[in-house]
Chains A and B, each alone.
Chain A
Amino acid sequence: MNCRPELDCLMYVDGELAANDVSAFEAHLALCADCRHHVAALRDEADLIREIVQRPEQVSAPSPASARTGLLWATLALVAVGAGVNACFGVLSQLNTQLGWLSPLSEEQHISAFLSLAFWLPKEGLPMLFTGFATLTIALLGFLSLGLVRRRPLAVAAGLLFLFAAALPASATEMRLPAQGASGIVVIPAGETIDDTVIALGQSVVVEGTINGDLITVAERVRIAGEVRGSLIMLGKGLSIDGTVLGDVYSASQTLDVRGKVERNVHAAAESLDIAAGASVARDAYLAGQHGSVSGTIGRDLHAAGQGFAVAGQVGRAVTFGGDGLEITPTARIGGNVTAYVRHAGAVSCAAGAQLASEPQIHISDSHHKGGAPGRNRWLTLHFYFWQAVRLAAAFGLGLLLYWLVPALFEWPTPSTGRLLKSAGIGFLALVATPIAAVLLAITLVGLPVAVLAMGTWLVGLYLGGILAALVIGRALLRSPRNGARSFILALLSGLALMRIVVNLPFVGGVAWFVLLIVGLGLLVAQLGHLVSRLRGPAIA
Chain B
Amino acid sequence: MTEARAEEVKLQEDRNDTPTRELDRLFREHAPKINGLCRYLLGSRDAAEDAVSEVYVKARQAQVLYDPRHSFAAWIMSIARHYCFDLLRRRRVEARLFTADEIDADALPDTAARGQTPLTRVVDRESRQAVRAAIEKLPRHYRLPLVLRYYEELAYDDIARALGVTRQDVATLLFRAKQKLRAELTPAAPTEGA
**A interface residue numbers (CB < 8 A to B):** 3, 5-7, 10-11, 14, 16, 38, 41-42, 44-50, 52-54, 56-58, 61, 407-408, 411, 483, 533-534, 537-541
Contacts and interface: CB of A to CB of B under 8 A. Distances in A.
Contact of A53 (B49, B56, B150): B150
Contacts of A42: 118
A8 B132 CA distance: 25
B46 A7 contact: no
B175 A52 contact: no
A48 B36 CA distance: 17
A540 B171 contact: no
A539 B171 CA distance: 38
A11 B167 CA distance: 11
Contact of B50 (A44, A47, A534): A534
B174 interface: yes
Interface residues of B, number: 47
Interface stretch (B6-14, B27-35, B78-86): B27-35
Contacts of A57: 132
Nearest to A45: B118
Interface string B160-184: 0000000000011011001001000
B151 A537 contact: no
B70 interface: no
A53 B24 CA distance: 26
Given A5-B112, A10-B174, A53-B135, A534 B53 contact: yes
Contacts of A56: 32, 36
A539 B113 CA distance: 49
Contact of A14 (B46, B53, B149): B149
B45 to A, nearest CB: 7
B121 A44 contact: yes
Given A52-B135, A538-B24, A540-B28, A6 B114 contact: yes
A46 B131 CA distance: 12
Contacts of A54: 36, 150-151
B114 A10 contact: no
A144 B33 CA distance: 31
Contact of B118 (A44, A58, A408, A483): A44
A54 B150 CA distance: 8
A452 to B, nearest CB: 33
A407 B46 contact: yes
Sorted nearest first, the 4 A-B pairs with minimum C-beta distance are A537-B53, A45-B118, A5-B112, A41-B118
A537 B36 contact: no
Contact of B31 (A3, A41, A49, A541): A541
Contacts of A10: 171, 174-175, 178
Contacts of A50: 150-151, 153
Nearest to B119: A45
Contacts of B53: 533-534, 537-538, 540
Contacts of B121: 44, 47-48
B122 interface: yes
Given A53-B135, A537-B56, 15 more contacts: A7-B172, A16-B156, A48-B131, A49-B119, A50-B151, A53-B132, A54-B36, A54-B150, A54-B151, A56-B32, A57-B132, A61-B49, A407-B46, A537-B52, A540-B56
A411 to B, nearest CB: 6
Nearest to B149: A14
Contacts of B28: 538-541
Nearest to B117: A41
A301 to B, nearest CB: 52
Interface string B123-149: 001001101100100000000001101
B122 to A, nearest CB: 7
B40 interface: yes
B64 interface: no
Nearest to B116: A6
B146 A6 contact: no
17 contacts: A7-B175, A10-B171, A16-B156, A42-B118, A44-B118, A45-B178, A49-B146, A56-B32, A411-B46, A534-B49, A538-B24, A538-B27, A538-B31, A539-B28, A540-B28, A540-B35, A540-B56
Given A10-B175, A56-B36, A61 B45 contact: yes
Interface of B: 24, 27-28, 31-32, 35-36, 40, 44-46, 49-50, 52-53, 56-57, 111-114, 117-122, 125, 128-129, 131-132, 135, 146-147, 149-151, 153, 155-156, 171-172, 174-175, 178, 181
Nearest to A411: B46
Contact of B46 (A6, A49, A408, A541): A408
A315 B36 CA distance: 72
Contact of A540 (B31, B45, B150): B31
Contacts of B132: 52-53, 57
A6 B108 CA distance: 13
A48 B114 contact: no
Contact of A3 (B114, B118, B147, B156): B114
Contacts of B153: 50
B39 to A, nearest CB: 9
Contacts of B174: 10, 14
Contacts of A16: 155-156, 171
Contacts of A538: 24, 27-28, 31, 53, 56
A134 to B, nearest CB: 23
A483 B57 CA distance: 25
Given A52-B135, A534-B50, A6 B112 contact: yes
A48 B123 CA distance: 10
A214 B48 CA distance: 55
Contacts of B44: 483
Given A53-B147, A56-B32, A61-B35, A14 B156 contact: yes
Contact of B131 (A5, A49, A483): A49
A26 to B, nearest CB: 18
Given A56-B36, A537-B57, A46 B111 contact: no
Contacts of B24: 538
A6 B111 contact: yes
A406 to B, nearest CB: 11
A57 to B, nearest CB: 8
Given A14-B156, A407-B46, A538-B56, A49 B172 contact: no
Given A6-B111, A42-B118, A44-B118, A541 B32 contact: yes
Nearest to B39: A57
Nearest to A5: B112
A533 B174 CA distance: 38
